[in-house]
Amino acid sequence: MSIKRGEIIEVAIRDLASTGNGVARLPDGMTVFVEGALPGSRVKASVQRVKKRYAEALAAEVVERSPVEVKPECPHFPECGGCLLQHMDPAEQLAWKTRRVSDALERIGGLEDVPALTPIGSPDVWRYRNKMEFVYDSIDGQPVAGLRRRLDASVMPVPECRICTEKTAAILRRANELGPSLGRIAYNPKTGKGYLRRLVIRHHGTTSGEGELMVHLITATARDHSAAEKLGRALQADFPEITSFVHSTRKSRRDLAFGERIQQVIGQDSVEERLHLPDAEVRYRISPNAFFQPNSAAAELLYGAVRQAADPGPDDTVMDLYCGTGGLALALADKAKKVLGFELSKDSVRDAVRNAEINGFSNCEFHAGTLEHGLGQVKGVPDPDIIVTDPPRSGMHETVVRGILDMLPRRVVAVSCDPATLARDLGRLSHAYAVESVQAVDQFPHTTHVEAVAVLRRK
C-alpha cells in the first residue's frame, strides 16, 4: 500500500511514540505517526510527509474514540504546543511514561528485567508549574507574550493557561494589557530588531503558603530601558505579592529564556522555595537564571525518592554532579559527612553556596565548571561513597561516565529527564554496576516529558 502526501487514510492507533504522536501500521508494514491521535482510537489522517519507512500525518477526524480519551480542560488545547496529551487520562499518561522508561532501558541500554518501582505521579495535574517562560511576538502590531503553537511554532496568547498557577496567568494577562503602553516592539531573532524578548514568571513556595513571585523580563540591548522599568513598576502596583522584578538583556540572537546581563532589580534578587522531605525541610533561594525543578510538589516526591535511594550514612561523602542550585546535594546534606557539588553555571553555584548557608549546612562544597574534562579537575576532592547525578536532557558526558568508573562509588543514583539518554548512560556503566531499580516520575502532566530515578549498586 503506497500513500502520498495530502492523501486521507484511515488507520487504527496502536501506541504512542516518544513524541506523543499516535503510532499506526499499514498492511505493507509502513509506520505512520499521527499527531493528535491516541492509542485505541481509529482516525482519518491527513498525510503530511512520506519517507522510505515511515510517514507523518495529522488526525483529521476521529472515527472511533480511544477508551483513554478525556475532555481537555484548557481552552488553548490543541492549538497550543505546551501540552500534547491533555486529551489523555492522566493515569494512562503515567502508565505510558512508565513503559517508556522500561522500554528504553531494554532497547537502548540492553538492560533486561530491571525492577520497576511504583511510578510517582504529580500530586497536581493542573496549576502545577512554578515557572513559565513566555516569548514575545508582534500580534496585530502589538507586543504579546505567549506560547508557541503546535503546528507552526508561531506565538499565540494563552490567557487561560491551566498548567501555571492562577496568579501567573493573571500577571501574564496584565503584562499583555500593558504591552501597547510600553512603546516598544517585540524582538525578531531573524532580523535582530525589536526589544521585548521573554517574560519569565516564577511562583515558588506555594507548597508552604502563598509563595513568592518573580517576574523576569528579558529584552534586547538598548540605550534606554525605561520601558522595562515602567512594566515592572506597573505590575508590582497591581500585584503587591510580586517580591522580585528583574530586567536583564540578551545580545545573542539565540532564542533562550536566559538573560546575559542583569540591568535592574526591583525588590529582591531571588525567590525562595521550601521542600518538605522525609524528616527534613530544605530551603532554596533561586536567582533569575537558575534552574530549579518546575513542579515543586512533585519535586518533593522526587527528592524524597533520591534521599531514600542514596541513603548516606554519617561517614559517607556524597558527590552531586550537575548540582544546579544545590537541589539534590542539600536534600542529602543532613545525613552525610560531606557533600560535593559540581555545576557549569557560576550563578547556580553561587545560589548553591547561599542555600547551604541558609540551611545551616557547613559540610557542603560547590565547584563551578564544565565536567567534560573529567571529575579530577578539582584538587583535593575525596573519592565519594555515593554519587547522585541529574544531567541535562543530553545525559552525562562520556568523561563523566569514565570518572564514575574510575572512582567506583558503592552506589550511584541517576536522575534523568530523558529515558533514552538514561538508558545509554546506564548501559555504559553496566559492566561495573547492577541496576537495582528504576522509578518513573511524572513532573509534567499532559506533556510527553518523564523523569526517572535509577539506583545502581557496584558489582
Nearest to 58 by CA among 82, 76, 84, 40: 84
Counting Cβ atoms within 10 Å, is residue 187 exposed (0-12), middle (13-18) or buried (19+)?
A: buried
Strand order in the sheet with 155-156: 155-156, 142-148, 131-139, 196-204, 212-219, 242-249, 261-267
Query: Is 417 assigned a catalytic role?
Result: yes
**Radius of gyration of the CA atoms of the chain, in A:** 23
Going across the sheet that includes 451-458, the strands are 364-368, 338-343, 317-321, 386-389, 411-416, 451-458, 433-441
| Of the candidates 242, 158, 252, the residue with the CA atom closest to the CA atom of residue 197 | 252
Nearest to 258 by CA among 344, 367, 181, 341: 344
- Neighbour-count burial for 74-99, b at 16+ CB within 10 Å, e otherwise: bebbbebbbbbbbbbebebbbebbbb
Give, in order, the Cα–Cα distances in Å from 287 to each of 108, 290, 315: 37, 5, 32
Q: Identify the active-site residue in 83, 161, 323, 417.
A: 417
Using the Cα atoms of residue 311, residue 315, residue 321 and residue 324 in order, give the sign of their dihedral. Answer: positive
Q: Which residues are designated catalytic?
A: 417
